[in-house]
Amino acid sequence: MWESENHSVGFGAGDYGNGVPPSAKHALNTHGFDLRGNSWHVATDIPSDLLVKVEGVNFHLHKYPLLSRSGKMNRCIYESRGPDLNNNLVFDDLPGGSEAFELAAKFCYGLAVDLTAANISGLRCAAEYLEMTEDLEEGNLIFKTEAFLSYVVLSSWRDSIVVLKSCEKLSPWAENLQIIRRCSESIAWKACANPKGIRWAYTGKPTKVCSPKWNDLKDSSPSRNHQLVPPDWWFEDVSILRIDHFVRVITAIKVKGMRFEVIGSSIMHYSSKWLPGSVTDTTNASDEGSTSATSHTSGGSNSWRGGIHMIVAGNKEDHSTIQAKDERMIIESLISIIPPQKDCVSCSFLLKLLRMANMLKVSPALVTELEKRVGMQFEQATLVDLLIPSYSKSDTTYDVDLIQRLLEHFLVQEQTEISSPGRQSFSDKHMYDGSQRGVIQNAKMRVARLVDSYLTEVARDRNLSLTKFQVLAEALPESARTCDDGLYRAIDSYLKAHPTLTEHERKRLCRVMDCQKLSIDACMHAAQNERLPLRVVVQVLFSEQVKISNAVSNSSLKEASDSQFQLPVMNRKTLLEATPQSFQEGWAAANKDINTLKFELETVKNKYVELQTEMEKLQRQFEKVNNKQKQSSGWSSGWKKLSKLTTKISTLETTENESHHPTIEEHTKKVHRRWRNSIS
Residues 217-247, buried b or exposed e (16+ Cβ, 10 A)?
beeeeeeeeeeeeeeebbbbbbbbbbbbbbb
pLDDT level of residue 301 (50, 70, 90 thresholds): very low
The pairing of strands 57-61 and 50-54 is antiparallel
Residue 552: its pLDDT value, please? 73
**Measuring CA to CA, which residue among 100, 8, 21 is closest to residue 54?**
100
Give the lowest-confidence range in 35-39, 96-100, 322-326. 35-39
For residue 433, give the 3-state DSSP assignment. Answer: helix
- Is the pLDDT higher at 319 or at 77? 77
- Is the pLDDT higher at 432 or at 453? 453
Residue 222: its pLDDT value, please? 41
**Segment 366-395, tens digit of pLDDT:** 999 999 999 999 999 999 999 999 987 778
Peptide bond into 172 cis (omega under 30): yes
pLDDT level of residue 297 (50, 70, 90 thresholds): very low
User: What does the alpha-carbon distance between residue 539 and residue 527 come to, in Å, rounded to a whole number?
Assistant: 9
User: What does the alpha-carbon distance between residue 386 and residue 402 come to, in Å, rounded to a whole number?
Assistant: 9
Give the lowest-confidence range in 148-157, 273-282, 295-304, 458-467. 295-304
Neighbours of 523 (CB within 10 A): 26
User: What does the alpha-carbon distance between residue 676 and residue 679 come to, in Å, rounded to a whole number?
Assistant: 5
pLDDT level of residue 648 (50, 70, 90 thresholds): low
Non-local (6+) Cβ contacts of 139 within 8 A are 14
Residue 634: its pLDDT value, please? 52
Residue 312: its pLDDT value, please? 35
SS3 content of the chain, % helix, strand, coil (to 5): 65, 5, 35
Residue 295: its pLDDT value, please? 37
Q: Residue 525 gets which letter from DSSP? A: H
Render 217-260 in DSSP notation, one character per residue.
HHTS-HHHHTPPPPTTTTHHHHTTS-HHHHHHHHHHHHHHT--H
**Segment 569-590, tens digit of pLDDT:** 444 455 445 445 544 565 666 6
User: What does the alpha-carbon distance between residue 661 and residue 538 come to, in Å, rounded to a whole number?
Assistant: 78
Cβ 133 vs Cβ 54: under 8 Å: no
Q: Is the per-residue pLDDT at 421 higher than 60?
A: no
Q: Which whole number is the average pLDDT over 245-265? A: 94
Q: Which whole number is the average pLDDT over 637-662? A: 54
pTM score, two decimals?
Answer: 0.69
Residue 318: its pLDDT value, please? 65
- Is the pLDDT higher at 126 or at 647? 126
The residue count for the chain? 680
CA dihedral sign, ordered 135, 136, 137, 143: negative
- Is the pLDDT higher at 22 or at 444? 444
Residue 347: its pLDDT value, please? 94
Q: Which whole number is the average pLDDT over 325-341? A: 93
User: What does the alpha-carbon distance between residue 162 and residue 357 come to, in Å, rounded to a whole number?
Assistant: 31
The pairing of strands 50-54 and 88-90 is parallel
Question: Does domain 32-155 fall into CATH 3.30.710.10?
Answer: yes
Angle at 625 between CA 620 and CA 628, to 5 degrees: 125
Cβ 479 vs Cβ 437: under 8 Å: no
Q: Is the per-residue pLDDT at 241 higher than 90?
A: yes
**Segment 468-502, tens digit of pLDDT:** 999 999 999 888 889 999 999 999 999 999 999 99
pLDDT level of residue 641 (50, 70, 90 thresholds): low
pLDDT level of residue 437 (50, 70, 90 thresholds): low
Sequence letter at residue 347 = C
User: What does the alpha-carbon distance between residue 248 and residue 242 come to, in Å, rounded to a whole number?
Assistant: 10
**Measuring CA to CA, which residue among 68, 115, 79 is closest to residue 96?**
115
pLDDT level of residue 650 (50, 70, 90 thresholds): low
Task: Please report, for residues 137, 234, 317, 354, 358, the alpha-carbon distance to residue 370 in angstroms, rounded to integers and kept in the order given.
Answer: 56, 26, 29, 7, 11
Q: What is the phi/psi pair of residue 89, to 5°?
A: -120, 140
Residue 131: its pLDDT value, please? 93
Render 343-387 in DSSP notation, one character per residue.
TSS-HHHHHHHHHHHHHTT--HHHHHHHHHHHHHTGGG--HHHH-
Q: Which whole number is the average pLDDT over 593-607? A: 77
For residue 212, give the 3-state DSSP assignment. Answer: coil
Task: Please report, for residues 290, 352, 652, the alpha-carbon distance to residue 672 in angstroms, rounded to integers and kept in the order given.
Answer: 127, 104, 15
Partners of 113 in the β-ladder = 11
- Is the pLDDT higher at 382 or at 557? 382
Q: Is the per-residue pLDDT at 230 higher than 80?
A: yes
**Segment 499-526, tens digit of pLDDT:** 999 999 999 999 999 888 888 888 888 8
**Segment 276-292, tens digit of pLDDT:** 742 333 333 334 333 33
pLDDT level of residue 181 (50, 70, 90 thresholds): very high
Average pLDDT of the chain, as a whole number: 76
Cβ 46 vs Cβ 62: under 8 Å: yes
Q: What is the phi/psi pair of residue 267, to 5°?
A: -65, -40
Residue 196: its pLDDT value, please? 67
Cβ 214 vs Cβ 180: under 8 Å: no
How far the first Cα of the chain sits from its last, in Å, is: 138
Q: Which whole number is the average pLDDT over 214-218? A: 37
Residue 393: its pLDDT value, please? 75
Residue 298: its pLDDT value, please? 36
**Measuring CA to CA, which residue among 152, 154, 184 is closest to residue 144?**
152
Sequence letter at residue 619 = Q
Q: What percent of the chain has pLDDT over 70?
A: 67
Non-local (6+) Cβ contacts of 400 within 8 A are 390, 458, 464, 468, 472
User: What does the alpha-carbon distance between residue 102 and residue 40 come to, in Å, rounded to a whole number?
Assistant: 9
Residue 677: its pLDDT value, please? 45
